[in-house]
Amino acid sequence: MDPMQPSVEKKSFGPIIGIIVIIIVLVIGAFYVWGGKLSNSSSEAAPLTPTDSVSDIQADLNSGGTLNVDLSDIEQGLK
């Protein structure tokens, strides 16, 4: 080797590629776990079945409770 030539360092890309592979595996694993939780929560929810019968609509309205709204503050704000 000639002492007048600058030495060229060889850079290794192995550690960088390893880190990238580990990050990709972690992201895929996170999506897998997240997807499992989503499918568990969606399977536990009761499916909504819309009905048009009058008795079902009346039962829904009756089970909703009462709605108490005080509109006196609105009248004061409009004046």
The pLDDT value recorded for residue 56 is 80
Torsion angle, alpha carbons of 31, 37, 40, 41, to 10: -120
- Indicate the domain borders of the chain: 13-40
1 pLDDT higher than 60: no
pTM: 0.41
> Which residues does 1 contact at the CB level (< 8 Å), separation at least 6?
7
pLDDT for the residue 28: 96
7 Cβ neighbours under 8 A, 6+ residues apart: 1
